[in-house]
Structures are given as structure tokens and as C-alpha cells.
Structure 1
Amino acid sequence: MYAALDIGGTKIAGALVDEEGRVVRRVQHPTPARESARVLMGAVDAVLDGLAKEPGWSGIHGLGIASAGPVNTAQGTVSPVNIPAWRDFPLVAEVRSYPSLLAGIEPVLVGDAVAMTAAEHWRGAARDVDHALCMVVSTGVGGGLVLNGRLHQGRSGNAGHIGHISVDLDGAPCPCGGRGCVEGLASGTAIARQAVAAGWVRPRGEEATAAAVAAAATQGDPAALGAFDRAAQALAAAIAATATLVEIEAVVIGGGVAQAGDVLFAPLRRHLDSYATLDFVRGLRVGPAALAQDAGLVGAAAAARASAGRAAAARTSAGRSAAGVRVRG
């Protein structure tokens, strides 16, 4: 059994997850995103309190934390864009000091997109795939990598952050400091903005969202179709670049924008044929994510499970080395 936390701008969720990746118990509290760092940590503690009351808590082998980013896994800190009070906040140290946490359990931190990647690789659409890119296309665009059958997080835990690959040298400035980033062209916000600029008129009483644009696209609205085509082209360019760099075999896309189905995936596959032209990147499998609401929790548990497995292997190796030492008399 593994404990998991999934921390975002609207909710803080916790779960106990079994060895098969099934959520056994779930606890959730709203995120007091505009409150102080202490109040925010109090909400995290409240979720842990709920999990600690469950019988399975006494048998957990690890605890994983998925958090909105940026994150720094080396330092154990988080600086979520949508949680202003947490800047370089020592989340791992705070969770480690939780009174009811079992001795020897070391919290494992991952970014939310990396958690989604871990979940999809464990029991989702990237299961049994050794080289994959998993993406979240929603209000922003994030991603994570599976290389050689293992989650690849990079030095700081942000490897695979495809949303800030530049695909337009003369594109608009991005809040990250770059220019022409995928996120500025393919996020749900960007799709809605492009559709409005192209003449799409949102239905009376509805907000201009990617979901509303997708609904219009299914009815053949040219501006809506054009906005999704533009987003798909940006995604295709970034996916092809990633595939060329690290030679992936599959791409899994989750998040709200992926709910548009073929409105997104049909032009994406068409554009990918134009960008992924080298022999070793042709024929990439591209499809929707299999996990939804609990992907962050399952991914956090997967990261904890992998860490526990590495620790156990290291202990076994150390034991064998010690047993092989001969004392000279």
C-alpha cells in the first residue's frame, strides 16, 4: 500500500493506493490558494489526518507527492504558479515531519505532469511502453517522459516540460520568458483566444472555453476548426522534435483539451505526418490518456513505489556485498 498526495490550485487530494494502482481510500479538501503558507500546509495536514485514520495507513511502503509546478525534486521544494504563498516552499520536509508518518518513509516529490506520466505508464495508455511522452493539455501544457522503461524526471524533476518548447521563432512572448512556446499556441486558453480572434462567437451565456470551441468545431464552425488545427500543428511540431531527440514510440495526451477527441487528434496526426519525417520517428502512436481524475494520485503512488523498489534493491545489494567480505586473520 502507498500513500499519495495531489496538490493543485483548486484541491488537495490524498489517497491510499494498492500494489495494483487502485485507489482504495480517497480524502479531499479545497486548496486555500490565496492564504498563507501555514494555512496551506494546514490543509495538507488535514488530508494526511484523514488518510492516517484509515487501517491501511499502518502498512504503507511509501508516500508520493504530486504538485503543480514548478517543482525542484532535488531540493524538495515547490513554487506552484497558482499558489502564490508557496515559493521555494519545503514541501517534502514539511510532509516528512508529519507526526503520524511511519519511521523510514521518505516522501517522493514529482510534478503533476510527471505524475500523470507515471500513472499512465503504470496502468494507463502507456503501460508496457518503454519510450513514451505523456502530455497534459489544459489551461497550460505540461509533460513527462518514460525512457528505457523508467520515468525520466531530470535533475530538477522537470524533464519533459514540452509546453515551453518554442515552435514559433517570431511568436508572442510567453510568461516563462521565451517566445512562441507550445503553451501559448495549444493550451485551452490559447485555443479559445484564437477562435475568438478568427471570428467565432461564443454561445449566449457561455464562457469562451476550449470545450465550447470544440463543440462548435464538431458542428463545422470554420473558426473553431481553425483554432484546433493551429493548436494541433504546434503540438505536432513539439512532439516531432521530442521524438527526434529521445526516440519515443508513443504519445499519450490527457487534460481537458484532449476531451475534444478527433477534433484535436485528427489534425494532430495529420500534422505529425508532416513533421515526423525521419525513419526513426515515423509511425508514432498518438492517443488519449486512459486515466482521469485520479491520475495525479496514482502517479504519485507510482513514484513512491518506484523509489521503494530502488531502496529495497540497494539494501539487498549492500547485504550481499557485506556477506561477501572475508575477514583476514
Structure 2
Amino acid sequence: MSGACVSEHGFETEGLVKRFGGTTALDGVAVAAGRGRVLGLLGPNGAGKTTVIRVLATLLRPDAGRAAVAGFDVVRDPARVRERIALSGQHTSVDEELTGRANLVMIGRLLDLPRRRAEQRADELLDRFGLEEAADRAVAGYSGGMRRRVDLAASLVGRPEVVFLDEPSAGLDPGRRDGLWRLIRDLAADGVTVLLTTQYLEEADALADTITVIDGGRVIAAGAPADLKRRIGGHTIAVRLDDPADAEPAAAILAAVAGRAPERASRTELAVPVTGDGALYETTARFREHRIGVTELSLRLPSLDEVFHALTDDSAKAAR
């Protein structure tokens, strides 16, 4: 009988390769997340994110490399992997002819829960996802956001050790998205390992302990969000002016301090990359000298959006 290897990781891959005909979808991908941690997997469309998830979920067999979940190899022990995971894909997979409650109870029964326990678990999840009022309506009548929520609830019926969430926020309004974020944090606090792909970079910034960026089937960067922000270097001075009439002199000051023209988000908002915190003091002094009033003046690391675009732009240039 094969058993789990001793591993501190909820999931990990090494040298993962997957080809579809003449197309290489994954080319030596290595990702890993410790137990109870959240890994954000980012990349442009077609980068290979969903392929990584499908390999880890035993839905695709890799052509080379190794992948393990909860210490079990996905090729040698797929049944044991499936017992420990949940997957919520980009498209909902619940039965639209059944009610939300019936879907969750059915999944509980398929997981060998006694009927009473399956019903209790369904009620817990319907409450957690704000679906109590719609619980006894057919899913066919749900909005897109409600279908996404019941699909996410279905993935948690069996209390998995590892959860793969492939763009889980798609179709959710901001309020429901905040609720999902709380749920993901709660899962990690309970020791569940989460792999999250998302198109919302602020979501990865808010939730992920570590981030792996892939492009063209290869890992191009990995680390904690703050480490990736430092990687592209420098800081940014962001200014919000009291008076739009000060925009031109403020822009001239920022250009002189930074050695480049600032970007203008609006008539009163300007931002420019700088090389050190001394630039903030110089900017403040010059603004005071010229009596330029500001509502906000800050020095910040690059946003994750800026990091993502810098990394993928560099990757695209290197591939040419």
C-alpha cells in the first residue's frame, strides 16, 4: 500500500510539464504552499494557471515532473488526493434543476455523510454563503453570483484539506466578494491550504501569503506580495491636490525630483516612481515653498497591478 510522504506542504509541484499536441502548456512549473497557507497563482489568460490546478486535482496527468497534494502523489495515489481536495472551477457545476439545499445535501450523501449530517452541513453552508432565503428554489432561477456562491459552498461540503479556487470571485458583487475573502481567511485559519487564481490583483494582494506568477507555462516570479513589490524596485510618490489649478506646478516639481514626468490619474491626482524616501522630503519642502496644498501625499511600494504588468511585460519581451 502506498502512503503519503512526510511533507510540510499542502501541495507542491516540481518540474511540471504538460503538453497538448504541439503546444506546451506547462514547462517546468514549480509551485508550493505550506499547510494552512494561501497561494495566489497569477498570470495572463492562457498562461497555464488552470492547467496547474487540473494536474493537482488529478484531472490531467502530467507529462513530466512531480505533483503532490497533502503528501500524496497525484499520479500514484489519485484516489487519496481526491479524498482530501475540493475544486471550484471557473464555471459552476451544480445541478440547476435541484434547489440549492438539495444540491448540497446530495453532495454530502455522495461523500457518505449520514442524511441528517448532510442536511446539517448544507444548512451551515447556506447560512455561511447568505443563501438561506433562496435555499429551496431551483438553482436555474439563481443569479450568476448566487450560482457561484452555491458552487463554492458545494466544494466545502466534505471539509477538504486543500481547496483549489479558480477565479472564485467571478460574478460576485463587491459585498459578496468581501464575504468570500473572509471565508478564505477562515479556511486558512482552520488549517486548509488554498490555491487561488484570480483576475483581481487586489484580491491576491489581500489574501495570498505567497504569489507565483506564470507566463507562457513558466514561472517568472514567486514570493510574498511585499517581496514582489520590492523586486521591481523603488517607491512611488502619490499626490492628491487641493486645487486643480496647482496641477502644472506640482507636476513640474515631481518631474524635477524624480527625473521623469508624473502620471496623471485625474486633474488632482499625480504619481511618479522615485528611487528613495528622500524624494518625499524634497517634494514636501518644494510644495511648501510654492504654497501647493495637498489632500494626500504618500510614499508607497508599487501596487501588485504594477508588479504584474512589469513582470509579464518583461516576460513577453524576453520571449520575442
TM-score by structure 2 length? 0.26
Q: Radius of gyration: which is bigger?
A: 2
TM-score by structure 1 length? 0.26
- Determine which structure has the larger strand proportion and give its number: 2
